[in-house]
Amino acid sequence: MKAGWGASLLRRLNLVCCVVTGLGLVIALERAGENPKVSQFDDGGRGAALLVILGLLAVYFTANLVIRPFGTSVVRYWISSVAFSLCCVIGMSGIWLIVHNSHYRERILGEKMETAAAVDWYLAHNMPPGPQPRRVPTGVYIESMEFDTGNNVLITGYIWQRVAKDLPASAIGVALPETHGTSNLTEAYRRDLGSETLIGWYLNARFRLQFDYAQYPIDRQDISLRMWSSDFARGVMLVPDLQSYPPWQAHGVFGLDKRFARAGWNPHYSVFTYVRIDYDSSFGDGAYKKTKPYPELYFHVGFDRSFRGPLTETVLPLAFVAILVFAAMFITTTDSERRLVVGWSTLTTITFAMSALLVVALRHNAILTSTETPKLVYLESFPFVMYFMIMATAVNSILFATTQYRFLHWRENLLPALLFWPVLTGALLLLTLVAFWRPPIGSVS
């Protein structure tokens, strides 16, 4: 490629990009200074991620003014290609850390109940009209949690109630409607507290819950215990037994064993909530009538996943495949003598591409097995990009052997090789932005 109008156009285009990204960075920094949510990651890390991307692009285009990959020097083209790829990798890693440390990702169902006053106010404003049920303080203590499958969680611990002496036996106890299979609640202790009786049950049950794996493996999951009173006539209202815990704090973790086996998860918060659920059935108790939803008690524990393990298991094998695919581009040649030396042919290219696709497909299947969700998850973007790169490399090799396109034959297929890593890392960075560029999600009721 000779220096001329093409090199001049590239130089001017790079200068324009440098100015635009620089101005964008200045504007973004000014807005970030006016918005404390950016520095605290309370906007989901979107502001910080934008600063990282604009900063890296500004650095890259500025560096190009020094590198000057606009003439005939192949070395300068390679330096620019590597620089862009490194910027994309750094930007992607920065987004991972920013999103992992953001606070907005709490997906808590319902209204938080952290004080007795909050419980009183909520029930006073959200109970259906009519006779008010008797309140039964109920507490939860989790000893262990284990993910059996993508949506099944085995939970052990204790559930207790402080019940009045005159409360009917049929109204004592807790039902767990979201258990899967056999729910095991065994009475573990009973104490006389004077006007009340303390009853505790040992919990050993498997819960079938719905998780959002869209951002896997940089995801945060909320594990919730939905609790009903054993009195189906709704003569009893379960209320959190907050006096049995230390004063509740935002992002505090109470009701969880300190020796909790994490197994790749880090507890982030625990909290009681009330959720109003509108049932479209009377459950056989007369004709159905539309009534105000009845609050139900939940106990939530939020966990951050330790994402280094799943990322390493996927990224490292795919990185090795990418290196091999990239290296294979350099044996593509029109020189008949060189072909004999390297053993290159179109059939060889197709065979290699099929082998590489098989390796990527096995890694992709491992991701699907881990999540067991019909929806796409973020980590799948890596095998999807690799599918594209492998097929594009195979098509490039075939076109190089069967056509005379100038951009392919420039310096023996150098242009596709120069673009390989920038396209690969740039596509991954773009998909990362799409996956994590979400509006803040807070509590829902």
Average pLDDT, the chain: 83
Entry pTM: 0.81
Taking the domains of the chain in order of start, what are their residue ranges? 1-104, 111-305, 307-445
What's the rounded Cα separation, in Å, for the pair 416 and 397? 10
Question: Sheet harboring 294-305: ordered strands across?
Answer: 111-113, 265-277, 294-305, 220-229, 174-175
Among residues of the chain, what percentage have pLDDT more than 70? 86
DSSP class per residue in 239-275:
EE-GGGSSPP-TT---SB-TT---TTEEEEEEEEEEE
Q: Is the pLDDT of residue 198 over 80?
A: yes
Pairing of strands 111-113, 265-277: antiparallel
pLDDT class of 429 with cuts at 50, 70, 90: very high
Average pLDDT score over residue span 334-339: 57
Average pLDDT score over residue span 83-105: 83
Write out the two tokens for 219: 């995801």
Bin 343: left if φ > 0, else alpha if -120 < ψ < 50, else beta: left
Q: Is the pLDDT of residue 335 over 70?
A: no
DSSP class per residue in 77-98:
HHHHHHHHHHHHHHHHHHHHHH
Count the Cβ atoms, other than its own, within 10 Å of residue 102: 22
Sequence-separated (6 or more) residues with CB below 8 Å from residue 161: 136, 137, 138, 139, 172, 173, 174, 198, 199, 241
At residue 441, the pLDDT reads 42
Contact 93, 257 (CB under 8 A): no
Lowest mean pLDDT among 78-82, 232-236, 306-310, 326-330: 232-236
The segment with the largest mean pLDDT, out of 89-103, 198-212, 258-272, is 198-212
Average pLDDT score over residue span 46-56: 79
pLDDT class of 378 with cuts at 50, 70, 90: very high
At residue 187, the pLDDT reads 92
Q: Is the pLDDT of residue 138 over 90?
A: yes
pLDDT digits (tens, 9 = 90+) for 139-186: 999 998 888 877 888 899 999 999 998 888 888 899 998 887 666 789
Coarse DSSP helix, strand, coil percentages of the chain, rounded to the nearest 5 percent: 45, 20, 30
pLDDT class of 10 with cuts at 50, 70, 90: confident
pLDDT class of 443 with cuts at 50, 70, 90: very low
pLDDT class of 423 with cuts at 50, 70, 90: very high
How deeply is 280 buried, as exposed, middle or buried, from its count of CB atoms within 10 A (0-12, 13-18, 19+)? Answer: exposed
pLDDT digits (tens, 9 = 90+) for 291-332: 778 899 999 998 888 888 888 889 999 999 999 999 888 776
At residue 381, the pLDDT reads 94
What's the rounded Cα separation, in Å, for the pair 385 and 367? 15
* Residue 103 φ/ψ, nearest 5 degrees: -100, -15
Query: Domain 111-305 - what CATH class?
Result: mainly beta
Average pLDDT score over residue span 273-280: 85
Write out the two tokens for 73: 């020097």
Amino acid identity at 315? V
